[in-house]
Amino acid sequence: MQSVLEYILSAHQHNHKMLAVLLDPERPINFQAGELNKADIVLVGGSTGAIAPDFIGKIRAITSRPIVLFPGNGNQFTADADAILFLSVLSAQSADVLIGRQMAAAPAIMAAKMESIPMGYILIDGGKTTSVAQASHSTPIPQNQVKYITDLAITGQLLGKQLIYLEAGSGALTPVSTDIIASVRKAISIPLIVGGGICTPEAMHAAFQAGADIVVIGNHFESHPDQLPLFCQ
């Protein structure tokens, strides 16, 4: 059976762009049966709150897509998902989010025998204060620091990360710029994920064109779940 990482790597190798829908465990699921199958991956996570025992089950009832944990804290782990993005906040000033929280979660992940995907996470200024900045004790990197962001991404790959995630933050006013995406894409060979503030198909395609392999959209679909087909044409 193909792992989630193999699924992502295959898409990357064949230049198949992927859309991931991010669902917050503290908010209701607004999609009907089958609608989420228009996306490629379902991510579950948020900056606060725990995952209710039946949350993953509710998602499984309406989609056959891989369900991957994108945890914002130690309470957002459940063995019911298909995989977990085991992320390290490369842009953080605190060792807690670089390695401390990972150590706390690692025994449970290992015991569950869940697929764990090492990921380097880089928080970029999206024009507003976001909950992820507060939760990760990170100062978002200004978007004009393209070389610094690119060097962080290179460092993540050399540390063995299998994915790099450029994040402007939930509800960002300004998505990660195409200049940043293009620079990072040119510098690394592993799949590149981009999220935060992407609210239109045009913005999604611009990120893809610049070099993103996966675009993550959460907030917009919480308010406009009916627009998912527009992003999948």
181-233 pLDDT tens trace: 999 999 999 999 999 999 999 999 999 999 999 999 999 998 899 999 999 97
User: pLDDT for 66-89, tens place per residue?
Assistant: 999 998 877 788 999 999 999 989
Domain containing residue 151: 4-232
**pLDDT single digits (tens) 120-142:** 999 999 987 766 656 666 789 99
Angle at 156 between CA 83 and CA 7, to 5 degrees: 35
HSE-up of 86 (CA within 13 Å, CB side)?
23
pLDDT of residue 135: 61
pLDDT of residue 48: 73
Amino acid at 68: V
Mean pLDDT along residues 167-179: 92
Instruction: Report pLDDT digits (tens) over 187-198.
Output: 999 999 999 999
Tally the domains of the chain. 1
Contact assessment for residue 115 and residue 3, using Cβ atoms and an 8 Å cutoff: yes
Q: 193: part of which helix (H) or strand (E)?
A: strand 192-195
pLDDT at 134: 62
Residue located via tokens 């995406």? 181
Structure tokens at 19: 């859309």
The whole-number pLDDT of residue 5 equals 98
pLDDT of residue 1: 80
Q: What is the CATH number of the domain that holds 144?
A: 3.20.20.390
Say which amino acid occupies 198: I
